[in-house]
């Protein structure tokens, strides 16, 4: 199917690199993606592609829907001086977002223009995937999806754990600390200790197959009026494909004796087959670039979880960069690897387009 038509247009590696450096040089933390979105629009308009910024800030460039190439525009906060460093036969781009996920974003934009397939740069992935959530409700499913996140030029990500996030709140009467009765802070600690024990993995069990329980923010103490002790704890649980979000939520609530927990977000895990047309196209393309494909499973959560929950089509995640550098103070990307990833994405998109 096709929501628009667009002829493939040449994009040089120099132009693709220029787009990458410009985007990395444009701060785009979640909620502040507008300037980077405008640079993407300019890139597509230069190549006579239909493009616009939608109601939530996504950059939409519809074309041949045999495959949708999509990555996120936003980055986490943090300033890293942008520079291109010589490294032997390679060059290294330093800067926030170079890996997560401006590298994949720029590579996909170049490949989408080269092959005439659909592209969307989504916003808010680092917070709540608001761009991806809006997208799945605002358009029909494409024939296939390639989501952009760092996998390395030779990696194909097929699975992500889901996420369950919530806030625990407890209140107790104030009193002298010598009293033996537990206060709200102790209740919070005891609940979370019990939750961690419930989901403790076996010694040799892969992390991907475990539930990882993490408190991400804690606040507690005597109330302003001095009459009570209060405790608030924001928590996250990563959910493997072997479980579902509801069962993890029920297990966490079963340990709740005092206080309440309000669940804010629930994103199911995803695990796709290595035998889909998308995965096969990536294996062919990666080998064509002289590399051996690696099949990956990520312990985090991405927009692919959102797409898999809404669209019944084959998908995978791909992009240049070492994911160990996600959000890191030394985030950097090999430009030679970026070039290879553009070639891989072009080959994948062309193959899926021609086979549609």
The whole-angstrom separation of Cα 257 and Cα 235 is: 17
The whole-angstrom separation of Cα 26 and Cα 252 is: 41
Closest among 171, 185, 215, 198 to 252, alpha carbons compared: 198
Let me know how long the chain is.
356
Angle of helix 102-115 relative to helix 335-355, nearest 10 degrees, comes to 40
Instruction: Name, in order, each residue with C-beta under 8 angstroms of 4's C-beta and a sequence gap of 6 or more.
Output: 50, 62, 63, 64, 118
Q: Which two tokens stand for residue 103?
A: 């590298």
For 268, list phi and psi in degrees, rounded to 5: -65, 155
Contact of 301 with 239, CB cutoff 8 Å: no
Q: Among positive and negative, which fits the CA dihedral 35, 38, 40, 46?
A: negative
Instruction: Name, in order, each residue with C-beta under 8 angstroms of 43's C-beta and a sequence gap of 6 or more.
Output: 19, 109, 113
166: part of which helix (H) or strand (E)? strand 162-173
| For residue 156, cis peptide bond before it (omega within 30 degrees of 0) | no
The whole-angstrom separation of Cα 11 and Cα 352 is: 19
- Residues labelled as active-site residues: 74, 125
């Amino acid at each position: 199917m096709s929501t628009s038509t667009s002829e493939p247009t040449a994009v040089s590696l120099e132009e693709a690199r220029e787009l990458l450096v410009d985007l990395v040089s444009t701060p785009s933390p979640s909620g502040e993606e507008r300037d980077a979105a405008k640079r993407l629009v300019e890139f597509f308009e230069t190549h006579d592609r239909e493009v616009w910024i939608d109601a939530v800030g996504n950059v939409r460039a519809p074309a041949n829907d045999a495959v949708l190439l999509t990555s996120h525009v936003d980055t986490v906060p943090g300033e890293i001086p942008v520079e291109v460093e010589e490294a032997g036969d390679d060059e290294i781009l330093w800067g926030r977002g170079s890996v997560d996920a401006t590298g994949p974003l720029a590579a996909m934009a170049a490949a989408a223009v080269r092959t005439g397939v659909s592209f969307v740069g989504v916003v808010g992935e680092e917070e709540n995937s608001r761009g991806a959530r809006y997208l799945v409700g605002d358009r029909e499913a494409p024939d296939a999806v390639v989501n952009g996140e760092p996998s390395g030029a030779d990696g194909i990500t097929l699975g992500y754990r889901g996420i369950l996030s919530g806030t625990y709140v407890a209140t107790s009467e104030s009193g002298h600390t010598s009293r033996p009765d537990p206060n709200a802070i102790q209740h919070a600690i005891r609940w979370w200790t019990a939750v961690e024990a419930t989901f403790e993995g076996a010694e040799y069990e892969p992390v991907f197959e475990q539930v990882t329980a993490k408190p991400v923010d804690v606040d507690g103490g005597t109330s302003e009026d001095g009459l009570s002790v209060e405790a608030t704890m924001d928590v996250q649980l990563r959910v493997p494909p072997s479980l579902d979000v509801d069962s993890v939520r029920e297990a966490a609530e079963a340990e709740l004796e005092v206080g309440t927990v309000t669940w804010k977000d629930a994103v199911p895990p995803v695990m796709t087959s290595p035998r889909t047309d998308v995965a096969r196209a990536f294996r062919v393309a990666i080998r064509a670039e002289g590399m051996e494909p690696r099949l990956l499973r990520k312990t985090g959560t991405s927009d692919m979880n959102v797409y898999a929950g809404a669209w019944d089509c084959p998908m995978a995640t791909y992009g240049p960069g070492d994911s160990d550098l996600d959000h890191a103070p030394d985030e950097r990307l090999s430009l030679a690897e970026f070039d290879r990833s553009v070639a891989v994405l072009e080959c994948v998109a062309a193959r899926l387009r021609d086979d549609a």
